[in-house]
Amino acid sequence: MQTIRYTSSFKHNTSATASRGAFLSLEDVRRAAPAIFAESAHESRSQRYGFVPTEKLLGGLMAEGFHPVSVSQAKSRTEGNENASKHLIRLRHAGSQQVGDVFPEVVILNSHDGSSSYQLMTGLFRLVCSNGLIACEGDMDSTRIPHKANALDRVIEGSCKIIQDMPQVVEKVMAMQSITLSPPEITAFNHVALALRYQDTDKAPINEASLNVARRWEDQGNDLWRTLNRTQENLIRGGLHGYRRNAKGRQRLTTTRGIKGIDQTVAINRGLWVLAEEVRRLKSAA
């Protein structure tokens, strides 16, 4: 049985997520993210714009054994622009092997209105919390492809590279699991992470300690991997209680909101991965 949420594509983001062990059907994908099946670019694009049909790449990856487990589409700021909006797909290979509690995935980001290039990223899905991390480091795990005439060939080539590099990402995960952080190091990690969402951390409604709260017993521990996952879930899902000052300077109880936008979700995930990778390198070299 699948867990699927549908909302108006003009006023809200839309999304669909398969339940554990299942894949989304093409009908589910179409209902949640119709832009994936667009047959042409938005009318605002010039003739130099290379239209890349996301459906064609999706079909090619499915033929290779990759199937969608989650899709989302950004809300359109212009009425009638729904079939060109930014959209994100997470795919998992039918025969992919679970590493600990993690499944490797391919993440695809695209739009047909010029709001983004085609982006291919490595995804990591953690079963225990149903969280989807995005792993990227330089050009190895993320490929940006502009919409030009040869875009489709480059997208397929980039997808193959993401798949080939997955074992290296899995090795990094295993290394993070073996690195223990001290309490001051965890605080420092979360201080940097807090800035990924709040430009002025002094005015943030929550603090570093809030990001380190485990929502389940499996997340308890001081290793780098679980620290990363606790922080990611608390930043993305929200629901944390804190205080914010109103216009009169008085503190008022508030609850952080979950992040729904595709751009901010990707940016925070990528920022957290780069941060964790830097910590891993420093600790391994020490």
pLDDT in tens, 52-82: 788 988 888 888 888 999 999 987 665 666 6
Q: Which of 192, 213, 222 is nearest to 204 (CA)?
A: 192
39 and 133 housed in the same domain: yes
Is the residue at 82 inside a domain? yes
153 and 254 housed in the same domain: no
Is the residue at 281 inside a domain? yes
238 and 272 housed in the same domain: yes
Q: What's the mean pLDDT when you consider all of the chain?
A: 82
> Locate tokens 């990528």: which residue?
270
- Taking only the tens place, the pLDDT of each residue in 152-184 is 777 777 777 777 788 888 889 889 999 999 999
- Residue 65's domain comprises 3-165
**What pLDDT is recorded for position 68?**
94
Collapsing DSSP to helix, strand or coil, 228 comes out as helix
**What pLDDT is recorded for position 193?**
95
22 and 156 housed in the same domain: yes
Is the residue at 173 inside a domain? no
Q: Which long-range contacts (CB under 8 A, 24 or more apart) does 55-59 make?
A: 56/152, 57/108, 57/152, 57/155, 57/156, 57/159, 58/29, 58/89, 58/91, 58/108
Q: Which of 89, 99, 88, 103 is nearest to 21 (CA)?
A: 103
Give every CB contact of residue 77 below 8 A, 6+ residues apart in sequence: none
Is the residue at 174 inside a domain? no
69 and 103 housed in the same domain: yes
Name the DSSP letter for residue 76: P
What is the distance between the alpha carbons of residues 170 and 102, in angstroms, rounded to a whole number? 9
Helix (H) or strand (E) holding 105: strand 102-110
| Residue 10 reports pLDDT greater than 70 | no
Q: Greater confidence, 267 or 1?
A: 267
**What pLDDT is recorded for position 228?**
94
Q: Which of 25, 16, 18 is nearest to 1 (CA)?
A: 18
87 and 36 housed in the same domain: yes
Is the residue at 178 inside a domain? no
Highest mean pLDDT among 59-63, 157-161, 187-191, 256-260 belongs to 187-191
What is the distance between the alpha carbons of residues 97 and 107, in angstroms, rounded to a whole number? 17
222 and 97 housed in the same domain: no
Give every CB contact of residue 69 below 8 A, 6+ residues apart in sequence: 17, 18, 22, 23, 24, 90, 91, 92, 105, 125
52 and 116 housed in the same domain: yes
Helix (H) or strand (E) holding 31: helix 26-32
> Locate tokens 């605080």: which residue?
187
Residue 151's CB: how many other CB atoms inside 10 A?
19
> What share of the chain in percent tops pLDDT 90?
33
45 and 140 housed in the same domain: yes
Tokens of 256: 């952080």
107 and 232 housed in the same domain: no
Residue where one domain finishes, among candidates 111, 133, 165: 165
Residue where one domain finishes, among candidates 106, 133, 165: 165
32 and 87 housed in the same domain: yes
191 and 133 housed in the same domain: no
- Total of domains in the chain: 2
Is the residue at 175 inside a domain? no
Residue where one domain finishes, among candidates 106, 136, 165: 165
Give every CB contact of residue 244 below 8 A, 6+ residues apart in sequence: 203, 205, 251, 252, 254
Q: Which of 174, 193, 209, 41 is nearest to 110 (CA)?
A: 41
Q: What is the model's pTM?
A: 0.82
Give every CB contact of residue 42 below 8 A, 6+ residues apart in sequence: 81, 83, 84, 112, 113, 114
Is the residue at 194 inside a domain? yes
Is the residue at 171 inside a domain? no
> What share of the chain in percent tops pLDDT 70?
87
